[in-house]
Amino acid sequence: MKTLIPATATSAKRATAAQQASAVPAPAAAASQATIALLQAHSLTSAVHAEIERLILTGELAPGAKLTEALLAERLGVSRGPIREAFRILEEAGLVRLEKNRGVFVRSIPLDEAVEIYDLRAMLEESAGRQLAERITPEQLRTLRTMVEQMERLVRDGHDGGAGDPYHRLNLGFHEALIDCVGNRKLSTLYRRVVKELSLLRRANLAGGRQIPTSASEHRAILKAIAAGDGAAAAAALREHVLQSKARTVAALGGAPAPAPAAQLAPATPAASAAVAKSSHPRGTAAAARKSRHA
């Protein structure tokens, strides 16, 4: 004969079991809350970091500008904690410098460091161009071609003097897409860090739009070499493109004469590339001047 449990007793037991099942030990609950807080703080820090980085890369916060926690916190509507953490991340990325007892400043890249960064970028893009000429897909090629056509459209439309911002974005997008097409995540990460540092002075290369037609022509030559499957030509075109950009930057900073327009240059060769690299380096320029005086 079965024993029947009163309904009230069964309900009470179920309620007790539900309460026990839903109860979370205090240490676990605290850990969960801490995790949620960490995730929220990380997301906020990421957003703050991204916005400050954008202000730096677009030139709204110029090299040498002092960054104040209180002003940025008020502008972005956040506390100072995420601002401080964003400063740390930006310092690691080479975009700001922290000076003891003075504060945080947008970095100014010295000429000798700029030359080294450009040389590193030239090596990265040279390698990427050689690889892509061998295995680029039709879809990747269409993406790069579309960007080059957009650059050329800006030139045809007569935006030589006012296309700095849209052209600058297309220029960055083309090179980042080219690097990403290689499919090496470490390469993409390193390249983006290099470009972000150069962004502190690269915009001067296209100032006033004077170099935009030349730049567009160089991008067309790069695309043509990659599409033809000519790894050597693609590597040489990319290296020459970066070295021309380096030479323009050095000239803008008073280190050497500006290079001739691409249309007046002979086809890129290893010897020509080496000559550009040497002439655009401050020490190479000084050595050439000494040789000229003793000739």
14-59 residue pLDDT tens: 454 444 444 445 555 555 555 445 445 568 889 999 999 999 988 8
Lowest-confidence region among 117-121, 127-131, 269-273? 269-273
Give the strands of the sheet with 103-106, arranged side by side: 66-67, 103-106, 96-99
Highest-confidence segment of 160-164, 195-199, 262-266:
195-199
End-to-end CA distance of the chain: 122
Residue 192: CATH number of its domain: 1.20.120.530
Task: Report the predicted TM-score, pTM, of the whole model to 2 decimal places.
Answer: 0.68
Q: For the chain, how big is the Rg over CA atoms in Å?
A: 28
177 and 128 Cβ atoms separated by less than 8 Å: no
The first and second tokens of residue 224, run together, are 């043509």
- Three-state secondary-structure class, residue 260: coil
For residue 21, tell me if it sits in a domain: no
Residue 140 banded pLDDT, cuts 50, 70, 90: very high
Please tell me the least confidently modeled range out of 74-83, 88-97, 273-282.
Answer: 273-282
Q: What is the mean pLDDT of residues 2-23?
A: 46
pLDDT tens digits, residue range 209-224?
677 888 899 999 999 9
Domain count, the chain: 2
Distances in Å between the Cα of 12 and the Cα atoms of 2, 4, 140, 274 are 20, 15, 66, 87
CATH code at position 74: 1.10.10.10
Cα–Cα nearest to 128, from 230, 234, 242, 241: 234
Residues 6+ apart with CB under 8 A from 98: 87, 91, 104
Q: Residue 235 above 90 pLDDT?
A: yes
For residue 50, give the 3-state DSSP assignment: helix
Q: Could you tell me the two tokens for 74?
A: 């008020």
Whether 84 shows a pLDDT value over 80: the answer reads yes
Q: What secondary structure letter does DSSP report for 269?
A: -
| Full residue range of the structural domain in which residue 43 is found | 35-106
Mean pLDDT of the chain: 77
Are 116 and 185 in the same domain?
yes
